Amino acid sequence: MKKLATLFATLVAVTGFLMTAPAQAAAPTAGKEYQVLRAPQPVTPGKIEVTEFFWYGCPHCFDFEPELEAWVSKQGKDVVFKRVPVAFRDDLLPHTKIFYALEAVGKLDAMHAKVFNAIHVDRKRMLDPNEIADFMAKNGIDRKAFLDAYNSFSVTTSSQRANKIADAYKIDGVPTIVVQGKYETSPSIAGTKGAAIQAMDYLVGQVRDKKM
């Protein structure tokens, strides 16, 4: 009887462990957590290129930004991270120009999150050049220098090129992440922000190991 009782107790313990042990997460799959682009685009040779297509006015981009920033900070030197601002309408082009003007005056890293907050927390439209310049001045950026950059030929050209890049990738929603010019994922594609991050990890790992 003691042997049977011991065996029963062991079976109960093992069964309980199996029921409570976390299941190993399945690897992301094409067509589910990520998609394979029909027309891959060229990338930087010798690097793993990760590109985010975004729009400052997009609430989903704003919501995804903290997780994305945390992910980028953990990547190795072989990963090149790029952002491409997208304007789906001509009247939204000022948001794209904000990005490239800040890049031109060397303040993009310092101001990127602040622009998001201005639009989504402070409810500023950030579409009028004077409103934008006033905002930059309040954040310590020379107003004239910013406006000169904002209205420059190079920023206008970069903004137009950004839309052409988005068209080449056939981007129809943001935020969208493209890995190595071939694989596309996003919180909406993967289902959640966490699933999108997992897909990004998987895709970068597969490219690094030359399995993709």
pLDDT in tens, 117-167: 999 999 999 999 999 999 999 999 999 999 999 999 999 999 999 999 999
Give the whole-angstrom CA distance, residue 207 versus residue 182.
Answer: 10
pLDDT tens for 23-68 read 556 899 999 999 999 989 999 899 999 999 999 999 999 999 999 9
Give yes or no for residue 5 having a pLDDT over 90.
no
- Asked whether the beta carbons of 135 and 124 are under 8 A apart, the reply is yes
Domains and CATH numbers, the chain: 35-208 (3.40.30.10)
The single-letter DSSP state of residue 25 is P
Nearest to 118 by CA among 91, 101, 97, 139: 139
Distance, first Cα to last Cα, the chain: 58
